[in-house]
Amino acid sequence: MPIEINDTISTIQEIRAYVQKLKNKGLVDIVFIDYLGLLKTMKQCKDRRLEIEDVTRHCKEISLELDIPVVALSQLNRGNERDSREPRLMDLRESGSIEQDADNVLFLHVPKDTDQSQDSFDIKVIVAKQRNGPTGYIMLKYFRNTFRFYGIKGE
C-alpha cells in the first residue's frame, strides 16, 4: 500500500492544505495524526485548551470537506492509571473538544493483571463513543513481535 509519512508539518492549517492537495490528486483516502498534543494552530489562543479546540475543529472540518476519515491519536490523563480503572471519555487530555468533535472514540486498554512481557497478550478495545452506533468493547490478541492485533474467537 502506498503510505506517505510527513513529519515536517506542525500546524493543523498546514495539514489541511497538504491533505487538500493530495485529495485533489486522488492520493489520500485516510489521514492519521500522531498525535494531537504535538499540533499547533496559527490562530492566537490564550491557552493550550483553546488551541486543542481549534485543532480538533479543523480535524472535523477536514473529514467533512474531503469526505475522508481523520484518525487522531491523543494522550490520556493519568487518572485511570492512578485509580486502576479503564479509561473514560473524561480522561482525554487537555480538552472536552476531542470528545465533542469526534464521531468515534476508541481506547486501547491493557487490563491491570496482564503480563506485558509475554510475546502476546489480550488488549481491550473500548468503544467509548460512536455517533452512529453502539458503544461497548471487544477483546483482541496483541502480538508484540509483529505489532499485530487479532480477534479472539468467541468475542
SS3 content of the chain, % helix, strand, coil (to 5): 30, 25, 45
Per-residue pLDDT at 142:
96
- CB distance 70 to 112 below 8 Å: no
One-letter identity of residue 10: S
Q: Which residues contact 108 (CB under 8 A, 6 or more apart)?
A: 123, 124, 125, 126
What are the residue ranges of helices labelled H in the chain?
A: 12-24, 48-66, 79-82, 97-101
- CB distance 144 to 152 below 8 Å: no
Per-residue pLDDT at 126:
96
pTM: 0.85
Predicted confidence pLDDT, tens digits, the chain (155 residues): 788 899 999 899 999 999 999 999 999 999 999 988 888 999 888 888 889 999 999 999 999 999 999 999 988 887 666 677 888 888 887 768 888 899 999 999 998 889 999 999 999 999 999 999 999 999 999 999 999 999 987 65
Per-residue pLDDT at 79:
64
Per-residue pLDDT at 154:
62
Q: Which residues in the chain are classed under CATH 3.40.50.300? A: 1-102
Yes or no: domain 1-102 corresponds to CATH 3.40.50.300: yes
The single residue listed with the C-alpha cell 490523563 is 77
